[in-house]
Amino acid sequence: MIPGSFDYHRPRTLDEAISLMASLGEEARVVAGGHSLIPMMKLRLAAPEHLVDLRDLAELRAIRSEGGTLVVGAMATQREIIASDLLAAECPILRETALQIADPQVRYVGTLGGNVANGDPGNDMPAVMMALGAVYRVKGSPGERDIPARDFYRSSFTTALAPSEILTQVRIPAAPKGQGYAYEKQKRKVGDYATAAAAVVLSMAQGSCTAAAIGLTNVGGTPLFAVAAAQALIGTRIDGTAIVEAVRQARAIAQPAADQRGPADFRTHVAGVMVERAIRRAKERAA
């Protein structure tokens, strides 16, 4: 499969990339790892006239802590996330999720920024970012702004990002001490998108749930933030009854398409199973 023709640009700095995006107009796309965009270009589902490659922008690679907020550069690869001691200690759900994305070769190249900004509901990190309350920092020629992950996804492949804007950082608030977490994904094989997947973070105090957030992957046109499902846990001991209610609420908002992964009803069912498993594991991990 041969993609359509394009002109290739490789800026050396973020400012150069931003001015390129502003001058090239709407037919330009940024490319990070390219493992979402290039397959679409090969199928001619995407045919940008200009590709602006961000690979030389070392300033977008750093993973660091900024006064408690974890800052992950948009160009950090899944492999760099897996290898980061800081993230393993401060936000282990990222490693758990990254290890379930695609395969080793893809994880060497695929980036966090590409995964969250592409707008594909099959990508795994968006649901996690919704659950964590992460914020996306984006930059364009008018300046910089922050968009909460929970407000970012509009519809399939449509996000709050303006065509000329570039995602620069994913900013994750410090997790409360003792927070439990889990990302549960069912997939048919290595490299597949989820049949359904669920991200859960929650906190417990004296045996009772004090906070919870749940995100769902690939069971709708966008990643889903399951507010009612999380509400069903808060204030309970997360016993069987509370979990049944959370699962019911999660299934109520799932609207998967029927595809090779199964009929819509089946995928909705699986979403509930993933939610239940993720809740149980997050609860076990909560201190």
Residues that bind other proteins (CB under 8 A): 1-8, 10, 31, 34-35, 38-39, 41-42, 51, 53, 55, 79, 102-106, 108-109, 190-191
Of the chain, the end-to-end C-alpha distance in Å amounts to: 51
Distance between CA atoms of residues 261 and 188, nearest Å = 7
Identity of the residue, 100 or 236, whose beta carbon is nearer to other proteins in the bound complex: 100
DSSP per-residue letters across 4-63: PP-EEE--SSHHHHHHHHHHHGGGEEEESS-TTHHHHHHTTS---SEEEE-TT-GGGT-E
- Kind plus residue range of the DSSP H or E element containing 173: none
Say if strands 153-155 and 28-31 run parallel, antiparallel, or are unpaired. Answer: unpaired
Identity of the residue, 41 or 93, whose beta carbon is nearer to other proteins in the bound complex: 41
Identity of the residue, 49 or 245, whose beta carbon is nearer to other proteins in the bound complex: 49
How near is the Cβ of 79 to other proteins at its closest, in Å? 8
How near is the Cβ of 119 to other proteins at its closest, in Å? 19
Identity of the residue, 55 or 280, whose beta carbon is nearer to other proteins in the bound complex: 55
How near is the Cβ of 194 to other proteins at its closest, in Å? 16
Identity of the residue, 54 or 232, whose beta carbon is nearer to other proteins in the bound complex: 54
How near is the Cβ of 74 to other proteins at its closest, in Å? 16
How near is the Cβ of 8 to other proteins at its closest, in Å? 4
- Torsion region of 84: left, alpha or beta (phi above 0 gives left; psi -120 to 50 gives alpha): beta
